[in-house]
Chain A
């Protein structure tokens, strides 16, 4: 077996460009996913005792609607493969727009489709992490908070939020790593992320061993950075 180290050094610039794109898509996915995840996670338990006490009057039907919308989102995303979601957004969605509206020149950039897909995909899984952590907060603590006469908003921000967040960190770390690796699936819509770069170099020089080894190590470095940052955060919050 011959292992040519020079193959790696030659392909490094292209692979690093791909890695950079992978990293950018992932970070956008994590930030956006956290936003939608928190919204949908809280939305799924809106109006239940997990967020204080059950509402009355007009807020009751409103909370039911919020629960349905959030659940619909989470179940739709969880129930379909991310590859299908990306293909749908990139290929099918523009056709749908053209068919249903007057806009005839509609298209989505591959990178945009990738970012949107990863945001909504991560968001659905993060929603479940958020929901699980929030309902695990001891109800006595909510009662103690409510007994002081604070608002529901204050209860969520100052009591439920910090306690639940501490518990979310390990599963969030898991999800962030999954999302990072999921970006490799965007090869199917032609996004030049790390896996795609590897594939293209491979197609021109057939050096599978050097290329895929390098690609694997690059993924490993990125997932390790994610895992270690979350570990640091967890340590910081170790006090309780």
Chain B
């Protein structure tokens, strides 16, 4: 196995405030990484650096062979290979579910309309929303919207998928349907996934590696079951205690 993403001594600052400090992380192809940590610890910033939604302040990032900052002009290629799913879904409100999913293949991958729509239909079926293809985002529940958003990210056929708290904005009864879709992707497609979530069940079930972040640093990492069973730091013990109570 080779590493598809490499973060070498990465720092990220907003203005004068450094929020990521000297992060080193190497992610293998097909690996499912779960990132946990308290609010404000830098989880979102970390994964947003991977697809260059945030530009790293120092260090080096290598994604699928593309080096940042040296090859800054190639961020679009990185994004073609690294999809993202957001907490707030961010579906395009002026397009149907089908339109949302077909958009990437037709515009980013420049496929012809028919082919893009075929791909979109397949993916909507895969996430269990075949009969909703003509609905607009405003007509769908949160869980349905997030499943469309996952299909949209998959449609450009990326090598990596990033998830930023994909179930945090959902009503409890809809979390399961979204996690199920994510589990299927992890198991069936061998997709490389980096998932920020507090769903510890998901982490234990499909995570290959669990990363605990605090104050802009990776504090602990390892096999999810082991890290959860034997947290070494006080901060992680604390954090796991909080998560379990919710």
Residues of A within 8 A of B (CB): 53, 56, 138, 140-141, 143-151, 154, 158-159, 162-163, 166, 239-240
By the criterion CB–CB under 8 Å, are B156 and A148 in contact? yes
What residues of B have a CB within 8 angstroms of the CB of A151 in the complex?
76
Instruction: Name the residue in B92, B94, B108 with the highest tally of chain A Cβ atoms < 10 Å from its Cβ.
Output: B94
**Which residue of A144, A154, A240 contacts B86 across the interface (Cβ within 8 Å)?**
A144
Tell me, in angstroms, the Cα distance from A166 to B92 when the chains sit together. Answer: 13
**Which residue of B79, B82, B92, B156 contacts A141 across the interface (Cβ within 8 Å)?**
B92
What residues of A have a CB within 8 angstroms of the CB of B72 in the complex?
56
Question: 0/1 per residue, B131-153, Cβ < 8 Å to A?
Answer: 00000111000000000010011
By the criterion CB–CB under 8 Å, are B77 and A149 in contact? yes
By the criterion CB–CB under 8 Å, are A148 and B103 in contact? yes
Residue in B closest to A152 when the chains form the complex, CB atoms: B76
What residues of A have a CB within 8 angstroms of the CB of B138 in the complex?
240
Q: For this complex, into which size category does the number of interface residues on chain B fall? A: 20 to 34
A167 to chain B, nearest CB (A): 11
Residues of B within 8 A of A (CB): 51, 53, 72, 76-77, 79-80, 82-84, 86, 88, 90-94, 103-104, 107-108, 136-138, 149, 152-153, 156
By the criterion CB–CB under 8 Å, are B94 and A166 in contact? yes
Tell me, in angstroms, the Cα distance from A162 to B92 when the chains sit together. Answer: 10
By the criterion CB–CB under 8 Å, are A149 and B156 in contact? yes
Residue in A closest to B88 when the chains form the complex, CB atoms: A140
Known: A148-B83, A158-B103, A163-B93. 13 other contacts (CB 8 A): A140-B90, A143-B84, A144-B92, A147-B84, A148-B79, A148-B103, A154-B107, A159-B92, A162-B94, A163-B94, A240-B136, A240-B137, A240-B138
Residue in B closest to A163 when the chains form the complex, CB atoms: B94
Residue in A closest to B105 when the chains form the complex, CB atoms: A148
Tell me, in angstroms, the Cα distance from A162 to B84 when the chains sit together. Answer: 22
What residues of B have a CB within 8 angstroms of the CB of A56 in the complex?
72
By the criterion CB–CB under 8 Å, are A148 and B107 in contact? yes
User: Can you list 19 A-B pairs with a CB-CB distance of less than 8 A?
Assistant: A53-B53, A141-B92, A143-B84, A143-B90, A144-B86, A144-B91, A144-B149, A144-B152, A147-B83, A147-B153, A148-B79, A149-B80, A149-B156, A150-B76, A162-B94, A163-B94, A239-B136, A240-B136, A240-B137
Tell me, in angstroms, the Cα distance from A158 to B94 when the chains sit together. Answer: 10
Contact of A150 with B94 at beta-carbon distance under 8 Å, contacts A140-B86, A140-B88 already known:
no
Tell me, in angstroms, the Cα distance from A159 to B107 when the chains sit together. Answer: 11
Tell me, in angstroms, the Cα distance from A11 to B138 when the chains sit together. Answer: 54
**Which residue of B86, B137, B152 contacts A148 across the interface (Cβ within 8 Å)?**
B152
What residues of B have a CB within 8 angstroms of the CB of A140 in the complex?
86, 88, 90
By the criterion CB–CB under 8 Å, are A143 and B53 in contact? yes
What residues of B have a CB within 8 angstroms of the CB of A147 in the complex?
51, 53, 79, 82-84, 153
Contact of A240 with B108 at beta-carbon distance under 8 Å, contacts A144-B86, A147-B84, A151-B76 already known:
no
Tell me, in angstroms, the Cα distance from A136 to B145 when the chains sit together. Answer: 22
What residues of A have a CB within 8 angstroms of the CB of B149 in the complex?
144
Tell me, in angstroms, the Cα distance from A145 to B152 when the chains sit together. Answer: 10
Residue in B closest to A140 when the chains form the complex, CB atoms: B90
Residue in A closest to B72 when the chains form the complex, CB atoms: A56
A26 to chain B, nearest CB (A): 29
What residues of B have a CB within 8 angstroms of the CB of A162 in the complex?
94
What residues of B have a CB within 8 angstroms of the CB of A154 in the complex?
107-108
What residues of B have a CB within 8 angstroms of the CB of A163 in the complex?
92-94
Tell me, in angstroms, the Cα distance from A26 to B241 when the chains sit together. Answer: 68
Tell me, in angstroms, the Cα distance from A240 to B92 when the chains sit together. Answer: 10
What residues of B have a CB within 8 angstroms of the CB of A146 in the complex?
53, 79
